[in-house]
Amino acid sequence: MSYIVNIEKQCGCVKKSGIEFPKTFDSLEEAKKEAEALASEFNETFCQKHNFQVEENGETLTIKVGMN
């Protein structure tokens, strides 16, 4: 079974980062760790127009993008 980390919508900062989505992992733990790390990095280093949170839905973890 594989687990997917994806992003809800790619704002300009995500596109500029060059990070490719979706990302696939062999374990849920790996996927959660990566999704949380990316959301945290995005919240700390991007332009602050958006906030990023992880939402788990079965085998897919989605980084949700909200307005600040």
- Which pTM was predicted? 0.93
Domain count, the chain: 1
Given this model, what pLDDT does residue 6 score? 98
For residue 35, the one-letter residue type is A
Q: Compute the distance between CA of residue 51 and CA of residue 36 in angstroms, rounded to an integer.
A: 13
- Read off the pLDDT of residues 16-64 as tens digits, 9 standing for 90 and up: 999 999 999 999 999 999 999 999 999 999 999 999 999 999 999 999 9
Tell me the two tokens of residue 68.
């600040």
Query: The domain containing residue 31 runs over which residues?
Result: 3-67
**Angle 24-34-14 (CA atoms, 0-180°, nearest 5)?**
85
Given this model, what pLDDT does residue 39 score? 97
- CB 63 within 8 Å of CB 39: yes
> Helix or strand or coil: residue 31?
helix
Given this model, what pLDDT does residue 60 score? 97
